[in-house]
Amino acid sequence: MNKKWELSKPDEKIVERLQKEYNLTELLANCLVSRGITSSEQLRVFLEPTRDDFHDPFEMPDMKKAIDRIIKAIDTNEKVIIYGDYDVDGITSTMVLKRFLGEHGLDVDYKIPNRLNEGYGLNKEAVKKIADDGYSLIITVDCGISGLDEVEYANSLGLEVIITDHHETKYTIPNCVAVIDCKRKDSKYPFKSLAGCGVVLKLIQAISQEKGYKPESYLKYLDIVCVGTISDIVPLVDENRLIAKLGLMLIKQTRNPGLSFLINSTGFKEINSTAISFGLAPRINACGRMGFEEEAIKLFLTDNIEEAKNITIKLNDFNKQRQEIEKTIFEDAIKQIEENKMENDPIIVVAGEGWHHGVIGIVSSKITEVYYKPSILVCFDGETAKGSGRSVPGFDLHNALCESDEFLLKYGGHEMAIGLTLERKNFEKFKEKIKEIASKANLEEFVPILKIDKELEAKDISEENIRDLEKLEPFGESNKTPIFLYRNLKIDSIRSLSEGKHLKLTLKDDINYIILTAIGFNMGNLANEYRLFDKVDVVGTLEINEFNGRRDIQINLKDIRKSI
């Protein structure tokens, strides 16, 4: 697939100034400037943030109303319940708020809806049970902002509700005690992209400040909040970067037995954003996807080492089951796409009988990655069907659903990811309608964009420079691992690995006498397109490859082209 290369061109004078003033390598200074870091204060906050860099929580709308109501509940020992979500963000949000309130005099309960039976967010059946069980206050975390009818129903039952959320708001917000969401239209909070657990952190920060607790009373939860923030794929800038950077340091010495056991079970040698994204998050999310969300919250709440160990084993088993189911659905979907030549459709819509709807969202992501087209996977279950979809930058999948809503029972999401429910009999009509909408978007013109931080020179190739780039960690959304361009390299060796799946090369810079290895994951098909001694331009990340006692500088390929 063709990819567009976009080379950053930061101001050379600013790069030189940062390099000299702060004793940075040119490579690191270049990457910082390409990320918009140009002043000394920006540089300090980015590289060495402190607890003092958190924003004032009381700048969030309704924060004072919320904490006054919660403090009242603490003082009168009310029966309070936290209503969360089944993903990592919702699980960590629930755990942090429950633990914090418990330590300060309010032993609250919690409710995590079952993904398979209840779905996301507040539902009236759960609200009715909460009222029947004698609770007087619901505090939502990572959900609630879209629950207008459910909150009105809670009000009618005599329940009070505090909403803490981070999702997009409608023009009308729920009618309740307080709605804390920095995406509210009237919010003046300086940062709009906190995860749900980040909003909970601001809530307990505000309670701590109001009650005069030491900062450690809320900062000690940064390890858990860090896991939720990185897992939720929010932009790792501003307060999210602060949470992630400080939280990663705390994770290395965490006192939470569940988190400790789970980290050790992943096999990752370094505790960084990659270990959380690809090690912890899939295991925690697997619980909700498989319908066992309670196990994930129990893991973080237990203080019993043996229990933590046993639950970790369960999480790993759930993740293996999820992987097997995902593989089966993916293979089935690919077979349908190829047999029906759906790769030529403007949007790929695939359906299957009995597919596990807790997993189809991941498969949709993979389908979109393979074909670089929006995709929707639908699983049939009797006369109804549930679907999940992913998009590509530039095509608003949620708007497309809005235009197709005559065929849908319900739907939600945002530009890049959606969920939907429809009647089986309307599937073909919906499929044709959404394809018609997508055909007007000229999606065939859409290509993946590789944003390149710098074109490499011989002087950039050193272990010191590569290690220095680790200062840019944690990597994630809006702060990607730096990508570099290296031109006019000669192929000295080339072969495929893992039965043709991956690509392995040795590359020479003949002018500067530099030899580099390169690995291209899922690029094994290119082994037949290039020959020894071809001159190529490559784009990728720099890393140190340690194998059999040797250390080599390696390029992790993102793309390759023949040199002009």
Q: What mean pLDDT do residues 248-273 have?
A: 94
Query: What are the structural domain ranges in the chain?
Result: 4-48+450-562, 57-215, 340-445
Instruction: Report the alpha-carbon distance of residue 536 to residue 542 in Å, rounded.
Output: 17
pLDDT tens digit sequence for 288-314? 989 999 999 999 999 999 999 999 999
Question: How does DSSP classify residue 543?
Answer: E
Q: What b-and-e string marks burial along 358-377, b requiring 16 or more CB atoms within 10 Å of the CB?
A: bbbbbbbbbbbebbebbbbb
Q: What's residue 362's pLDDT?
A: 92
Give yes or no for a contact between 235 and 253, defined as CB atoms under 8 angstroms apart. no
pLDDT tens digit sequence for 171-184? 789 999 999 999 99
Nearest partner of 319 among 297, 340, 353, 289, judged by Cα: 289
Which string of DSSP letters, residue by residue, matches 443-505?
GGG---EEEE-EE--GGG-SHHHHHHGGGGPSPBTTBPPP-EEEEEEEEEEEEEETTTTEEEE
Q: Which two tokens stand for residue 520?
A: 């291209």
Mean pLDDT of the chain: 93
- Domain 340-445, CATH: 3.10.310.30
Q: How confident is the model at residue 418 (pLDDT cuts 50, 70, 90)?
A: confident
Tell me the torsion sign for CA atoms 83, 195, 120, 327: negative
Give yes or no for a contact between 491 and 531, defined as CB atoms under 8 angstroms apart. yes
Instruction: Report the alpha-carbon distance of residue 372 to residue 546 in Å, rounded.
Output: 33
Q: How confident is the model at residue 416 (pLDDT cuts 50, 70, 90)?
A: confident
Q: How confident is the model at residue 237 (pLDDT cuts 50, 70, 90)?
A: very high
Architecture category of domain 4-48+450-562 in CATH: Beta Barrel (2.40)
Q: What's residue 243's pLDDT?
A: 98
Q: Is the peptide bond before 474 cis (omega within 30 degrees of 0)?
A: yes
pTM for the model: 0.90
Instruction: Report the alpha-carbon distance of residue 208 to residue 63 in Å, rounded.
Output: 13
How many residues does the structure list for the chain? 564
Q: Which two tokens stand for residue 170?
A: 């409608």
Q: What mean pLDDT do residues 67-92 have?
A: 96
Q: Do domains 4-48+450-562 and 57-215 have the same CATH topology?
A: no
Instruction: Report the alpha-carbon distance of residue 106 to residue 367 in Å, rounded.
Output: 46
Q: What mean pLDDT do residues 129-152 have?
A: 95
Pick the CATH number of 57-215 from 3.20.130.10, 3.60.150.10, 3.90.1640.30, 3.40.630.10: 3.90.1640.30
Place of tokens 């992987």: 323
Give yes or no for a contact between 507 and 491, defined as CB atoms under 8 angstroms apart. yes
Nearest partner of 437 among 418, 462, 409, judged by Cα: 418
Give yes or no for a contact between 1 and 450, defined as CB atoms under 8 angstroms apart. no
Question: How does DSSP classify residue 380?
Answer: E
pLDDT-wise least confident of 66-80, 171-185, 256-270, 409-423: 409-423
In this predicted structure, the answer to whether residue 1 has a pLDDT above a threshold of 70 is no
